[in-house]
A and B are shown apart, each in its own frame.
Chain A
Amino acid sequence: GAVVSQHPSRVICKSGTSVKIECRSLDFQATTMFWYRQFPKKSLMLMATSNEGSKATYEQGVEKDKFLINHASLTLSTLTVTSAHPEDSSFYICSAARVSGTGTGNYGYTFGSGTRLTVV
Protein backbone atom coordinates (compact mmCIF):
# COMPACT_ATOMS: atom_id res chain seq x y z
CA GLY A 1 0.00 0.00 0.00
CA ALA A 2 0.88 3.66 -0.13
CA VAL A 3 3.58 4.67 2.33
CA VAL A 4 4.72 8.07 3.45
CA SER A 5 8.03 8.29 5.26
CA GLN A 6 8.50 11.21 7.60
CA HIS A 7 11.69 11.98 9.46
CA PRO A 8 13.04 12.70 11.87
CA SER A 9 10.53 11.12 14.20
CA ARG A 10 11.85 13.11 17.10
CA VAL A 11 14.09 16.15 17.29
CA ILE A 12 15.29 18.42 20.05
CA CYS A 13 16.80 21.75 19.07
CA LYS A 14 17.99 24.91 20.73
CA SER A 15 15.94 28.06 20.62
CA GLY A 16 16.86 30.18 17.61
CA THR A 17 17.97 27.34 15.38
CA SER A 18 16.15 25.91 12.37
CA VAL A 19 14.83 22.41 11.93
CA LYS A 20 13.93 20.63 8.70
CA ILE A 21 11.33 17.87 8.54
CA GLU A 22 11.11 15.68 5.47
CA CYS A 23 8.13 13.85 4.08
CA ARG A 24 8.55 11.35 1.24
CA SER A 25 5.98 9.32 -0.63
CA LEU A 26 7.75 6.02 -1.21
CA ASP A 27 5.66 4.22 -3.79
CA PHE A 28 3.47 6.85 -5.38
CA GLN A 29 3.66 10.39 -6.65
CA ALA A 30 2.07 12.97 -4.45
CA THR A 31 1.18 16.13 -6.30
CA THR A 32 -0.23 17.58 -3.13
CA MET A 33 1.04 17.35 0.41
CA PHE A 34 -0.48 18.76 3.57
CA TRP A 35 1.31 19.79 6.75
CA TYR A 36 -0.46 19.64 10.09
CA ARG A 37 0.37 20.61 13.61
CA GLN A 38 -1.11 18.73 16.53
CA PHE A 39 -1.18 19.94 20.11
CA PRO A 40 -1.50 17.46 22.98
CA LYS A 41 -4.86 15.71 22.96
CA LYS A 42 -6.05 18.07 20.27
CA SER A 43 -7.10 17.77 16.69
CA LEU A 44 -4.92 18.37 13.70
CA MET A 45 -4.52 21.94 12.58
CA LEU A 46 -3.81 22.31 8.89
CA MET A 47 -0.85 24.61 8.42
CA ALA A 48 -0.39 24.60 4.69
CA THR A 49 -0.99 22.80 1.43
CA SER A 50 1.94 22.29 -0.89
CA ASN A 51 1.73 21.46 -4.56
CA GLU A 52 4.72 20.20 -6.48
CA GLY A 53 6.54 22.97 -8.25
CA SER A 54 4.53 25.83 -6.82
CA LYS A 55 4.38 27.92 -3.68
CA ALA A 56 2.62 26.51 -0.69
CA THR A 57 -0.78 27.81 0.36
CA TYR A 58 -0.80 28.70 4.03
CA GLU A 59 -3.80 28.68 6.32
CA GLN A 60 -4.82 31.86 8.03
CA GLY A 61 -2.65 32.67 11.01
CA VAL A 62 0.31 30.51 9.95
CA GLU A 63 3.51 32.47 9.43
CA LYS A 64 4.89 31.55 6.04
CA ASP A 65 8.31 33.03 6.84
CA LYS A 66 8.58 30.89 9.93
CA PHE A 67 7.30 27.64 8.49
CA LEU A 68 8.98 27.26 5.13
CA ILE A 69 7.53 24.58 2.92
CA ASN A 70 9.20 23.25 -0.19
CA HIS A 71 7.73 20.68 -2.56
CA ALA A 72 10.45 20.35 -5.16
CA SER A 73 9.54 16.92 -6.47
CA LEU A 74 6.53 14.63 -6.69
CA THR A 75 7.85 12.52 -3.84
CA LEU A 76 9.36 14.98 -1.41
CA SER A 77 8.07 17.87 0.63
CA THR A 78 9.93 19.58 3.45
CA LEU A 79 8.88 21.78 6.33
CA THR A 80 11.53 23.99 7.87
CA VAL A 81 10.81 25.64 11.19
CA THR A 82 13.03 28.69 11.19
CA SER A 83 14.33 30.40 14.31
CA ALA A 84 12.47 27.93 16.46
CA HIS A 85 11.15 28.92 19.86
CA PRO A 86 9.73 26.82 22.69
CA GLU A 87 6.19 27.66 21.61
CA ASP A 88 6.91 25.89 18.32
CA SER A 89 7.29 22.64 20.21
CA SER A 90 4.62 20.34 18.87
CA PHE A 91 3.86 17.22 16.86
CA TYR A 92 4.01 17.84 13.13
CA ILE A 93 2.40 15.46 10.65
CA CYS A 94 2.50 15.42 6.88
CA SER A 95 -0.07 13.88 4.59
CA ALA A 96 0.29 13.04 0.93
CA ALA A 97 -2.68 13.06 -1.36
CA ARG A 98 -3.04 10.44 -4.04
CA VAL A 99 -5.60 9.46 -6.62
CA SER A 100 -6.37 5.82 -7.27
CA GLY A 101 -8.52 5.24 -10.29
CA THR A 102 -10.80 7.79 -11.85
CA GLY A 103 -13.15 10.23 -10.22
CA THR A 104 -12.60 12.58 -7.36
CA GLY A 105 -14.02 10.01 -4.97
CA ASN A 106 -10.88 7.97 -5.30
CA TYR A 107 -8.80 10.67 -3.73
CA GLY A 108 -6.97 9.31 -0.70
CA TYR A 109 -4.63 10.55 1.96
CA THR A 110 -1.63 8.81 3.48
CA PHE A 111 -0.10 10.20 6.62
CA GLY A 112 3.47 10.23 7.81
CA SER A 113 4.28 8.94 11.26
CA GLY A 114 4.84 12.41 12.64
CA THR A 115 7.72 14.41 14.09
CA ARG A 116 7.90 15.39 17.73
CA LEU A 117 9.72 18.73 17.89
CA THR A 118 10.98 20.00 21.22
CA VAL A 119 12.63 23.41 21.34
CA VAL A 120 14.69 24.08 24.45
Chain B
Amino acid sequence: AQSVAQPEDQVNVAEGNPLTVKCTYSVSGNPYLFWYVQYPNRGLQFLLKYITGDNLVKGSYGFEAEFNKSQTSFHLKKPSALVSDSALYFCAVRVAGGGNKLTFGTGTQLKVEL
Protein backbone atom coordinates (compact mmCIF):
# COMPACT_ATOMS: atom_id res chain seq x y z
CA ALA B 1 0.00 0.00 0.00
CA GLN B 2 1.17 3.51 -0.73
CA SER B 3 1.48 6.14 1.96
CA VAL B 4 2.68 9.69 2.43
CA ALA B 5 4.04 11.29 5.57
CA GLN B 6 4.23 14.96 6.36
CA PRO B 7 6.00 14.99 9.70
CA GLU B 8 5.28 18.62 10.59
CA ASP B 9 1.77 19.81 11.42
CA GLN B 10 2.92 23.40 11.21
CA VAL B 11 5.88 25.31 9.86
CA ASN B 12 6.56 28.90 10.82
CA VAL B 13 8.93 31.08 8.84
CA ALA B 14 9.68 34.78 8.58
CA GLU B 15 8.87 36.56 5.35
CA GLY B 16 11.88 36.64 3.06
CA ASN B 17 13.41 33.53 4.56
CA PRO B 18 13.58 30.22 2.72
CA LEU B 19 10.93 27.66 3.54
CA THR B 20 10.84 23.88 3.44
CA VAL B 21 7.82 21.65 3.88
CA LYS B 22 8.77 18.02 4.28
CA CYS B 23 7.26 14.97 2.62
CA THR B 24 8.30 11.33 2.53
CA TYR B 25 6.56 8.53 0.75
CA SER B 26 6.32 4.77 0.71
CA VAL B 27 5.31 2.92 -2.44
CA SER B 28 5.99 -0.41 -4.08
CA GLY B 29 6.43 0.96 -7.59
CA ASN B 30 7.49 4.13 -9.35
CA PRO B 31 5.87 7.13 -7.65
CA TYR B 32 4.16 10.09 -9.17
CA LEU B 33 4.40 12.84 -6.57
CA PHE B 34 2.32 15.98 -6.21
CA TRP B 35 2.12 19.10 -4.09
CA TYR B 36 -1.11 21.00 -3.57
CA VAL B 37 -1.98 24.11 -1.60
CA GLN B 38 -5.30 24.83 0.07
CA TYR B 39 -6.58 28.18 1.30
CA PRO B 40 -9.38 28.30 3.89
CA ASN B 41 -12.69 26.90 2.65
CA ARG B 42 -11.30 26.28 -0.80
CA GLY B 43 -10.38 23.29 -2.90
CA LEU B 44 -6.83 22.24 -3.64
CA GLN B 45 -4.65 24.11 -6.09
CA PHE B 46 -1.92 22.29 -7.98
CA LEU B 47 1.63 23.47 -7.34
CA LEU B 48 3.87 20.93 -9.02
CA LYS B 49 4.43 17.28 -9.75
CA TYR B 50 7.22 14.81 -10.33
CA ILE B 51 6.68 12.14 -12.94
CA THR B 52 10.13 11.32 -14.29
CA GLY B 53 13.29 13.04 -15.42
CA ASP B 54 14.99 15.88 -13.60
CA ASN B 55 14.78 15.43 -9.85
CA LEU B 56 14.30 19.16 -9.27
CA VAL B 57 10.81 20.20 -10.23
CA LYS B 58 9.78 23.84 -10.51
CA GLY B 59 6.18 24.79 -10.02
CA SER B 60 3.78 27.64 -9.49
CA TYR B 61 4.38 30.77 -7.39
CA GLY B 62 8.13 30.17 -7.12
CA PHE B 63 7.86 26.80 -5.41
CA GLU B 64 10.07 23.87 -6.24
CA ALA B 65 10.55 20.34 -4.94
CA GLU B 66 13.33 17.82 -5.13
CA PHE B 67 12.68 14.15 -5.68
CA ASN B 68 15.15 12.04 -3.70
CA LYS B 69 14.73 8.38 -4.43
CA SER B 70 17.25 7.10 -1.89
CA GLN B 71 15.58 9.04 0.92
CA THR B 72 12.08 8.57 -0.51
CA SER B 73 11.46 12.26 -0.04
CA PHE B 74 9.86 15.07 -2.01
CA HIS B 75 10.31 18.20 0.07
CA LEU B 76 8.69 21.44 -1.05
CA LYS B 77 10.87 24.54 -1.03
CA LYS B 78 10.80 28.22 -1.79
CA PRO B 79 13.82 30.53 -1.59
CA SER B 80 11.96 33.51 -0.16
CA ALA B 81 8.65 33.12 1.64
CA LEU B 82 5.76 35.57 1.35
CA VAL B 83 3.00 36.20 3.87
CA SER B 84 0.57 35.21 1.11
CA ASP B 85 2.13 31.74 1.05
CA SER B 86 0.47 31.02 4.40
CA ALA B 87 -1.85 28.10 3.73
CA LEU B 88 -2.27 24.34 4.14
CA TYR B 89 0.04 22.25 1.98
CA PHE B 90 -0.55 18.65 0.95
CA CYS B 91 1.84 16.14 -0.53
CA ALA B 92 0.29 13.28 -2.51
CA VAL B 93 1.44 10.17 -4.33
CA ARG B 94 0.10 7.99 -7.07
CA VAL B 95 1.78 4.79 -8.10
CA ALA B 96 2.44 4.12 -11.76
CA GLY B 97 0.26 1.25 -12.86
CA GLY B 98 -1.49 1.17 -9.53
CA GLY B 99 -4.72 2.86 -10.47
CA ASN B 100 -5.53 6.52 -10.45
CA LYS B 101 -6.11 7.22 -6.80
CA LEU B 102 -4.08 9.84 -5.00
CA THR B 103 -2.97 9.21 -1.45
CA PHE B 104 -2.54 12.39 0.56
CA GLY B 105 -0.36 13.27 3.50
CA THR B 106 -1.92 14.80 6.57
CA GLY B 107 -1.07 18.32 5.53
CA THR B 108 1.29 20.98 6.85
CA GLN B 109 0.07 24.39 7.87
CA LEU B 110 2.55 27.02 6.73
CA LYS B 111 2.56 30.33 8.53
CA VAL B 112 4.69 33.13 7.16
CA GLU B 113 5.07 36.10 9.47
CA LEU B 114 6.35 39.60 8.92
Contact = CB atoms under 8 A, between A and B. Distances in A.
Interface residues on B, range: 20 to 34
A110 B42 CA distance: 13
Nearest to B103: A46
Contacts of B52: 105
Contacts of A77: none
Contact of A32 (B32, B36, B45, B100): B100
Interface in B57-105: 88, 90, 94, 96-97, 100-102, 104-105
B2 interface: no
Interface stretch (A11-19, A61-69, A82-90, A111-119): A111-119
A119 B36 CA distance: 28
B40 to A, nearest CB: 10
Interface string B36-48: 1000011111100
Interface of B: 32, 34, 36, 41-46, 49, 51-52, 88, 90, 94, 96-97, 100-102, 104-107, 109
